[in-house]
Structure 1
């Protein structure tokens, strides 16, 4: 508290003691004049009694945690991180630590999807690899549905002989869609099992990654209570020609950078868009979005890019 009758506080750093020990009764001088209210914090400067210091829907940032504490709240109710069950489907899959035999491949999707789920604010739970067996798949999926808030599988979502996912959801739940006009990731099943969301992604790694970005990540953020669900979208200038003959919407892996001379954002596609490859996604910072319908884009055209390297709500 400021002593009665005082209206300013002078910093010790600008005080010289003329005589005495600097305590009461001493004589001092200041190297700058004192101003009324200087170095005084008014009562209720942050908030008055009855003020709302944080509203429903606000994200509790580190500063917000301190703000709540200053108002006397050691804890508050928040949205729980949803548990997301992840299952890889395919007899050909082996764990990453294993050396694949002929006809086998390491399971890369589970690692990528677990990391994606964690980054989206979920608590990922890996339920393992299910072989191409209808009963084995059903058992793992049922267990995940019972224990999790959201279940995601990769593989077994297209039209192969061993793709049981859509049939399982249709038989025991509700299929809301089982194809989407998107590349990569056309073969996607979404539905409800036991009243919980279920997403069956393509087994192709890049397709599974893009499918997660476009569908699962916004859903997880919605479950977390975030207001912003979509990654930031910017316009950038193409550095090369792009021809598109298909009707589907494309999300091509690409890299956006800023021209050092003009300051314009430039975007360059990865050399390959093979949906089996994750390396191009690792080295990309955006997805070049090309809307439905055939088109031919030229170098210098302005296009939309989805910034997968920036958080939702980022001001560009």
Structure 2
């Protein structure tokens, strides 16, 4: 093999690490042994239960995009803090405009101009008005704004042709937010627009959950690095890159540990190193349906197996375990299966570790382009492509890396269902985006 490839085989891990093997505690929910045939919901509930918390840290808001709040953010004072105009026009007392019509306008004394960025120079007197621009601060005792199109300036007075009522064209001093009000709850994932709101409210630092560090391992003697040159019978390793990219998208920090080429000893040493340095570990390629199931063997040696296998079709082997209180996830080697399990199950681990409500995949409607057959004893998650509003299942031959590019979404057929007929309407879980976990309530009047 080329020299650069051989050099990449020299893995670096901390020497002298020895995580002692231990048995499951008798008072654990899994004391009777691991679940061997679970649904996706079973796996999600389990992974949410064992997800460890990450620490809370203080960050500046311009470094907090994508982080999850570790504590609620409260408004420190009324926002905007003064009554302000939402229109260009004239600040008035609403009572003074009563009865105004185009045929019989009300005349108000013109008392000057309010400049933006400055307080009104004086209290508004009876029967008078002041010119004001959008965003300007209303003078004391005024309670409404007459728009320009309903007023006519006449040197020393202004003719008002339409009455206004208290609060018209005005933002109250506490209408944006009140002192002590929760702006964002704990668990809220900060977005760019939220950063702008925080800055506008004078909040420059926030308490957030540290992004979890996810260690990533790949196994298999047939694997070579992505920049290597595979010999006959070898394939490039892709899953660690796929897992890393999705971890970053979900708000975690990926740390790749390379490829375990030499079986259980190799995997054991690298896994131990990762457990000492990361919050959770993901292993791809070591979970199989036969004697090649290295992941379960190594996890059992150092910790405990909580789940082994999913009762879904196409059949998938997934292992969930713990070592020193840290979740260890074993995934199959098929990139499409890895991607599916990452989205449906492992995404929950990252979100819970961050302390946020788990995002749900956005669903869209499509028409079945062909019959999608199913056995009632199993649940199905079928990768599909969308062509002119029709969903077609993808060829799931093992090793087809290009399947990921053509996959537009996943069709879920629940257990007990015999399938979907051609032409029927179905829901497709969109893999290109996720739905916001929850929404803040709108400000009530």
**Both proteins in one fold, TM over 0.5:** yes
Mapped pair 1:10 → 2:128: no
Q: TM-score, normalised by structure 2?
A: 0.60
Aligned equivalent of 1:196: 326
**Preserved CA contact (<8 Å) 2:359 2:437:** no
Unmatched 5+ stretches in structure 2: 1-118, 135-147, 439-445
Residue 407 (structure 2) aligned to one of 284, 293, 296: 284
Alignment of 1:107-122 (within 5 A): 107-122=237-252
Aligned equivalent of 2:190: 60
Count residues in correspondence.
302
Mapped pair 1:267 → 2:391: yes
Alignment of 1:231-246 (within 5 A): 231-245=361-375
The 3-state SS of whatever aligns with 1:116 is helix
Separation in structure 1 between the aligned mates of residue 436 and residue 277 of structure 2, nearest angstrom = 31
The 3-state SS of whatever aligns with 2:186 is coil
**Preserved CA contact (<8 Å) 1:10 1:34:** no
User: Which deviations, in whole Å up to 9, do the C-alpha atoms of 1:275-313 show, x marking residues without a partner?
Assistant: 422322222221111223573532122334222122133
**Preserved CA contact (<8 Å) 2:413 2:419:** no
Relative distance call for 1:200 and 1:191 in structure 2 (3 A) is same
Relative distance call for 1:87 and 1:115 in structure 2 (3 A) is same
Instruction: Work out which of the two has the higher radius of gyration on C-alpha atoms and give 1 or 2.
Output: 2
Alignment of 1:208-247 (within 5 A): 208-245=338-375, 247=377
Aligned equivalent of 2:180: 50
Separation in structure 1 between the aligned mates of residue 170 and residue 347 of structure 2, nearest angstrom = 47
Which shifted more, 192-201 or 246-255?
246-255
The 3-state SS of whatever aligns with 2:197 is helix
Alpha-carbon deviation of 1:41? 4.8
**Preserved CA contact (<8 Å) 2:364 2:428:** yes
**Preserved CA contact (<8 Å) 2:358 2:437:** no
Relative contact order: is structure 1 or structure 2 higher (C-alpha 8 Å, sep ≥ 6)? Answer: 2
Unmatched 5+ stretches in structure 1: 19-25, 260-265
Relative distance call for 1:304 and 1:70 in structure 2 (3 A) is closer
Separation in structure 2 between the aligned mates of residue 184 and residue 127 of structure 1, nearest angstrom = 29
Alignment of 1:1-316 (within 5 A): 1-6=119-124, 9-11=131-133, 41-184=171-314, 186-245=316-375, 247-256=377-386, 259=389, 266-270=390-394, 272-292=395-415, 295-313=418-436
Separation in structure 2 between the aligned mates of residue 150 and residue 200 of structure 1, nearest angstrom = 11
**Preserved CA contact (<8 Å) 1:289 1:303:** no
Relative distance call for 1:34 and 1:10 in structure 2 (3 A) is farther
Give RMSD over aligned pairs. 3.3
Separation in structure 1 between the aligned mates of residue 407 and residue 213 of structure 2, nearest angstrom = 28
Relative distance call for 1:292 and 1:132 in structure 2 (3 A) is farther
Separation in structure 2 between the aligned mates of residue 8 and residue 136 of structure 1, nearest angstrom = 80
Separation in structure 1 between the aligned mates of residue 180 and residue 416 of structure 2, nearest angstrom = 56
Separation in structure 2 between the aligned mates of residue 206 and residue 30 of structure 1, nearest angstrom = 71
